[in-house]
Structure 1
Amino acid sequence: MLEGVNTTTIVTELGLDPALERHMRFAAELRTGLTLVEERLQEVLRSPGHPELTEAATHLVRAGGKRLRPLMALAGAAFGDGRDEAISAAVLVELVHVATLYHDDVMDEAPMRHGVTSANSLWGNKKAVLLGDYVLACAARVGAGLGDYALRSQAETFGRLVRGQFLETTGPFEDCGRHAPYEHHIQVMADKSASLIAMAGRLGAQVSGADERTIETLGQYGELIGVAFQISDDVLDISASTTDLGKSAGTDLREGIVTLPMLHALDDEGPGAARLREIIGHGPVPDPAVRQEALGLLRDSAGVMRALAEAHGYAAKAKDLALSLPDRPARALLVGLSAFVVDRGE
């Protein structure tokens, strides 16, 4: 999303108006803030006297990424007085996110992440798990400097992240009837993806002294945009190439994770849907040839378009919430972001 962290990219991709001086000023401030976040991430993860740990712990940070969560924290801070603590808030949420990536790659046995070899492939699963734990410890140290609100937010959000991962592992068809498949998947997305994005907006606003209504609205916006973002990611896992993704396409199929576009495709009629039920019904799809067949069937199904329609629905609600915020350049950015997160999946 924001690789390169330059003002032109921020304005072009996120809906700020280049004709408005205040928008351009805000974009420049965001660029500066995101640059500081990158520097601070490296600094926080450095382990003096242990270069091997520093190298491994900064591996995914150096690989880059969308930096959506730091962006949300800095946007939230723009509704307050923009104090320096906003950089720490942005660093905190990104560290929690990076820690989950180390753990996720172990669970998924992922060979790539952000276009580079995954930590588990380089150093093995045991070290990758420990790296995730180390990054979480660094995040806690940053959170401690921001006070009780940040620590509570971090604890509550991490609990939701773990719950989402657990529910995803359990699967919609093994949940003892507590949730229908669609409800189950929305809950997974809300916990595993949206919760941290919501925390980012709230925490950025809170540390910058924004009012309670704005903090709450940013949290609600983050929940909605996070679900839209994850649906878009699920679609991309089906429709995009491995090169575009920066990781292996069809990861969800390989791991036996049933996503929203898959659920819609499985509900279709006809031979394609029947074959998909036959393939996906057996759980993980490790065979590359069968996985490619399933990807082809999914791409030809109506499931992708139905999922994208739902993503647009969540994004539209997020946009309405953004428009209820005070009239600042950050509001325009959040409105533009609501379109960007779903357009990337099309």
Structure 2
Amino acid sequence: MASLAIGNDALEAELLPRLALVEERLRDAVAQSDKLADATSRHLVDAGGKRLRPVLALLCAQLGDGARPEVLDAAVVVELTHLATLYHDDVMDSAPTRRGAPSAHEVWGNSVAILTGDLLFARASRVVAGLGPEAVRIQAETFERLCLGQLHETVGPAEGDDATAFYLQVLADKTGSLIATSARLGAMFGGCPTSIVRQVTEYGEAAGVAFQLADDVIDVRSDAATTGKTPGTDLREGVPTMPVLLLRRLVASGSATAEDTALLADIDGDLSSDEALGSVVERLAAHAVVDETAALAQSWALKAKDAIADLPEGDAAGALRTFADALVARAA
């Protein structure tokens, strides 16, 4: 299993066997008696992934008693929920690949992919039910925010709304909410006091926004072999990202160059051909708005670290700071 990017070899050696147990439980949780459902449910689990959310749950549990068995179930719940959203997101974004493999909707069609996402969320709900009513409530509130984030991303800001502020709230809902819940459940079931649970929850939300802003950079500055995702997918589907929003604001300000204006026009144009998309991705990747987005990701990582400034010093607190930095270092 790959390094956890927490900057502490001894702690990593302690967490990796637990993460391996989470992986086993995850595969058990997605198994279905129906042959088609079993194949579709295993599709993204088998494709692998960073497992950031279970890692964070296990790490935050180290602030208390990380060996408690409920912590493993909490880690499974957050990853199952994440996987469920990926099936839905790929349909809505028409993403052809995920984690280096064809997206489920490319293999089985949109309806099967959506229903598989629903099945996985049902399995997550079964696991979380065993953790008690408070965990069920947190899971329900998180899923509500995930849906609202996707809804708001789909319809866009209202007339007069600040587009960048609106987008940051979308990221907080779509990504930050589940990463915050990962940290929260880990700390809760590790037996941490309320003050620590509150701090890591705030940390998780800010880290989630930082992570997604870094992804906005990676979407135009990395290749499919590195990320497992097709570069420029969001551009092709007209999904707003921070670099495009910053470029749009620059053009609206009247201080843009002719090249800026032409790039925005091409982004808003027909990107159905690979040639047109490639040209836009190349030009946008070289633009200062992508550097600005990377700097914004760094600022949100700093917010995450500030949120845990009062944690007791120790291996887990230090690893959380390193973890936040690692989320945005991917875009460096």
Q: CA deviation at 1:237?
A: 0.4
CA distance, structure 2, for counterparts of residue 130 and residue 300 of structure 1: 39
For the 8 Å contact 1:72–1:200, the answer to whether it is kept is yes
CA distance, structure 1, for counterparts of residue 108 and residue 138 of structure 2: 31
Deviation track 1:94-139 (CA, whole Å, cap 9, x = no partner) reads: 0000000001111112111000111111111111111000000000
CA distance, structure 2, for counterparts of residue 159 and residue 240 of structure 1: 32
Deviation track 1:244-296 (CA, whole Å, cap 9, x = no partner) reads: 110111011011012111222333411221012212335x7323222112112
Unaligned runs of 5+ in 2: 251-255
160, 171, 177: which one aligns with 2:145:
160
For the 8 Å contact 2:19–2:54, the answer to whether it is kept is yes
Partner of residue 206, structure 1: 188
Unaligned runs of 5+ in 1: 19-23
Deviation track 1:67-97 (CA, whole Å, cap 9, x = no partner) reads: 1100111111111222110000000000000
64, 70, 77: which one aligns with 2:48:
64
119, 125, 140: which one aligns with 1:140:
125
Structure 2 counterparts to residues 10-21 of structure 1, below 5 A: 10=4, 13-16=5-8, 18=9
303, 309, 316: which one aligns with 1:330:
316
Q: Which one-letter code corresponds to 2:53 in the other structure?
A: R
271, 281, 306: which one aligns with 1:320:
306
Question: Does residue 245 of the first structure (1) align with residue 221 of the second (2)?
Answer: no
Question: Does residue 112 of the first structure (1) align with residue 94 of the second (2)?
Answer: no
For the 8 Å contact 1:171–1:257, the answer to whether it is kept is no
Q: Which one-letter code corresponds to 1:192 in the other structure?
A: K
CA distance, structure 1, for counterparts of residue 19 and residue 31 of structure 2: 19
Question: Does residue 275 of the first structure (1) align with residue 262 of the second (2)?
Answer: yes
Structure 2 counterparts to residues 41-120 of structure 1, below 5 A: 41-48=26-33, 50-82=34-66, 83-120=68-105
Give the number of aligned pairs.
Answer: 326
Partner of residue 295, structure 1: 281
Deviation track 1:161-211 (CA, whole Å, cap 9, x = no partner) reads: 111111111124xx233x211111101100001100000000111112110
For the 8 Å contact 1:323–1:335, the answer to whether it is kept is no
For the 8 Å contact 1:266–1:276, the answer to whether it is kept is no
Partner of residue 305, structure 1: 291
Q: CA deviation at 1:327?
A: 2.2
Q: CA deviation at 1:321?
A: 2.5
Q: Which one-letter code corresponds to 1:167 in the other structure?
A: H
Identical columns (%): 43
Question: Does residue 221 of the first structure (1) align with residue 227 of the second (2)?
Answer: no
Partner of residue 253, structure 2: none
Partner of residue 21, structure 1: none
Partner of residue 286, structure 1: 272
CA distance, structure 2, for counterparts of residue 277 and residue 308 of structure 1: 19
226, 229, 238: which one aligns with 1:256:
238
Partner of residue 151, structure 1: 136
CA RMSD across the alignment? 1.4
For the 8 Å contact 1:228–1:312, the answer to whether it is kept is yes
Give the 3-state SS of the residue equivalent to 2:308 in structure 1.
helix
CA distance, structure 1, for counterparts of residue 6 and residue 308 of structure 2: 13
For the 8 Å contact 2:231–2:281, the answer to whether it is kept is no
186, 203, 223: which one aligns with 2:168:
186
Of residues 295-304 and 142-151 in structure 1, the stretch that sits farther from structure 2 once superposed is 295-304
Q: Which one-letter code corresponds to 1:14 in the other structure?
A: I
